[in-house]
Structure 1
Amino acid sequence: MSVPGGGESTATTDLSSSPSNPPEGRGSIPGIMLPPSSSSTQQYVLRSGRYVGRGGEVKVKRKCVEVACQPSVVFLLATVCMTALASVLLYYALNGHYWEMLNYDVDKVNEIVANNSTYLSVKWLFNDRVPVITYESGYTTPDPPKYLLPLHSGVWISCIDLEEKDFKDLQQLGYQKANKCVDHLDPYKDIPKSTEARASWQHRMQNLAIACAMVCLILLGSAIVVGLFGVCRPQISAVLVTGVIYVLSATFALFTLTIVHFKHKNRNDCEPLDVWTRLIPDLASSNEFRSARRITHGGSLYLGWAGAIVCVLASIMWILLSKMMRYNPITFST
């Protein structure tokens, strides 16, 4: 007889024979030890893997396949997979350094230099990634060259988009700045503070994005702990709370994504962030190459949007799992 997990059924069993060797005919429960009873027939009800009746309680030994194929267990495995995917996507997105990227259009830079060839010349380094602009002033002491470096920026940090080896080679070629990255949490550690109103607005937006990202990561860690407790015990209330926590995690992830998105849209497409101009001062003094800048979104931002959507789906699955566990309790015993 196959025993469905979590459901309820009845079985009428003949107890006239010896309890240690129950009959295998119609209406019997094969393979289990039935308690002795004065009556010749006993009705048993299957509840959560046990037959319960007036004669006592009989534990049913189920196969591993029967345990794994319970509807609540199958839905639990799907929920765990969706939750793991959401957590991984959001973790790597919020800790990624490629939300925004700054590069230079090679053809546009060459066109600008060609139109001003009387006093400008360009030299490309590292596979046409770094243009070095030389100004011909006509004086005995030439103006220092300007290095227009590529950048990438995340929620927490902005860095020059060069390998460590390339950056050291660049310093040997004459680049004087020692900072390769600037921390958004402490942007004035090694770089002078800016007093521009535009910079202050950018800093406020950046601080809001950092705060939302920190809350999102804390909620993700809390959801893992509460979810494990709710599944291992099992506790329906803890499973429901896990779903609510993932809703909050998705909400704060959306806050972070929205802030970064509008911070990009509310400034000119060719205008760099203030932390970028403080990391690379040549950005502020090379306005003639403004039209050659290409500020785009990086892969971390798209990971964040995908993680937020999957997180919403995971929260819905946790809430549905709590409803399912109310009527189909999860039992892992065989």
Structure 2
Amino acid sequence: MASQGTHPACLFLALTLLVTTAATMILCSAILTNHWEVITFEKAEVEAIAAKHNATHTLTWLWGGKVGMVSIKLHQPLKLRRQDVGSQAYMGSRSHSLRFRRQTTKSIYLVPMHGGIWTLCVGLSVQEQTELQDRGFPLTGCLNYLSPHFAVNGEKNDWIQRMQNLSISCALVCCILLGASAVVGTFGIIKRQISAVLITGVMYILAATFGLFCLSIMHFKRKTKKDCGVLDSQVTPEYSSARVFQTGWSLDLGWGGVVTCLVAALLWLLLARIMRYNPISLS
């Protein structure tokens, strides 16, 4: 009879561990992936901007419209043409009038990117990144938001910088809580400590709360189309308006992780109540 009484409790324990493992894996996967936001350029708007500046801007689409390359004609400031001493003496006070303007060309690249809580990555294949780097595009792979590129004075958007720091802080707290709850929960089950099981449930509630903060910050941090440092340094201001920020699949995965964490927290609290009146034997 005793074994029949403990059987439902063991099934509930197995369900709790299964949901807890799923919640931890889903939320950690969302935090560590870098598809929280997808950054693209509106093709029609880019073409309209290039047509507006058709005298100086030449637009070329690469790889079937995946990347836009804009060649911009620049005029260098007026410079004094170098003259020999005899000509300067002959011209006298009119020597300052011999100035010229040199024309150069600057190329900017409208490249799709995707970013996470920690990093910003170029949304191209390795071969495409290599070819684009040969053309002069300076970025490849992924850059960490805490790298010096994002801390250059004069290229920093304070709002974006604060939101990135807050999201990173919330993600770190989530990881710490998930790791600590695994230790406390294992101890509570092995030693049959009801207080440790209760604490595990509370820690999963806290992890879900900070996960919710992180999700909200990542969802609402793009209140403008400007960015700090790296993104804005690659395009001219007129093409920044054609940039589009969209949420990616990592954000959806994060919402799933938060909901599953809340379910796991409820199961841990119910498990503590069951253990109070029906002790679980692991032998």
TM-score per shorter chain, which class?
0.7 to 0.9
> C-alpha offsets along residues 214-262 of structure 1, whole Å, 9 cap, x if unaligned?
1110110111111112222322222111111111111111121122223
Output one character per residue of 1:259-300: Cα deviation in whole Å (capped at 9) or x when no partner. Answer: 222312xx22xx1321443xx6232x1x33344321101111
Q: Whose RCO is larger (CA < 8 A, sep 6+)?
A: 2
Q: Alpha-carbon deviation of 1:118?
A: 3.7
Give the match for residue 124 of structure 2.
162
Counterparts of 2:52 and 2:154, CA distance in 1: 35
Task: State the percentage of identical aligned residues.
Answer: 36
Distance 2:118 2:157 in 1: 16
Aligned to 1:177: 138
Q: 2:202 aligns with which of 238, 241, 244?
A: 244
> Measured at CA, do residues 104 and 195 of structure 1 come closer, stay the same or move farther in structure 2, by a change above 3 Å?
closer
Alpha-carbon distance between aligned partners in 1 of 2:211 and 2:15, rounded to the nearest angstrom: 23
Among candidates 256, 273, 278, match of residue 227 of structure 2: 273
Q: Where do 1:1-334 residues align within 5 Å?
A: 3-5=1-3, 7=5, 70-136=7-73, 141-172=103-134, 174-178=135-139, 180-185=141-146, 187-188=147-148, 190=149, 193-195=152-154, 199-264=157-222, 267-268=223-224, 271-277=225-231, 281-283=233-235, 285=236, 287-333=237-283
**What is the Cα deviation at residue 140 of structure 1?**
7.0
SS at 1:133 equivalent: strand
Unpaired runs of at least 5, structure 2: 76-100
Report if aligned partners of 2:201, 2:264 keep a CA contact under 8 Å in 1: yes
Give the distance between the partners of 2:151 and 2:201, measured in 1 at CA. Answer: 45
Q: Which moved more, 1:133-142 or 1:296-305?
A: 133-142
Cα deviation, residue 206, structure 1: 1.5
Matched AA of 2:62: L
Which of the two has higher C-alpha Rg?
Answer: 1
Code of the aligned partner of 2:131: D
Which structure: greater helix fraction?
Answer: 2
Taking structure 2 as the reference length, the TM-score comes to: 0.82
> Which blocks of at least 5 consecutive residues in structure 1 are unaligned?
8-66
Residue pair 1:158, 1:275 contacting (<8 A) in 2 also: no
Indicate if the aligned counterparts of 1:6 and 1:328 stay in contact, CA closer than 8 A.
Answer: no
State the distance in 2 between where 1:296 and 1:178 align: 21
Distance 1:329 1:127, change over 3 A: farther
Secondary structure in structure 1 of the residue aligned to 2:114: strand
Q: Decide whether the 8 Å contact of 1:156 with 1:183 is kept in 2.
A: yes
Shifted more, 79-88 versus 232-241: the winner is: 232-241
Q: 1:191 to 1:180 in 2, by over 3 A?
A: farther
State the match for 1:31 in structure 2: none
Distance (Å, rounded) in 1 between the aligned partners of 2:154 and 2:58: 33
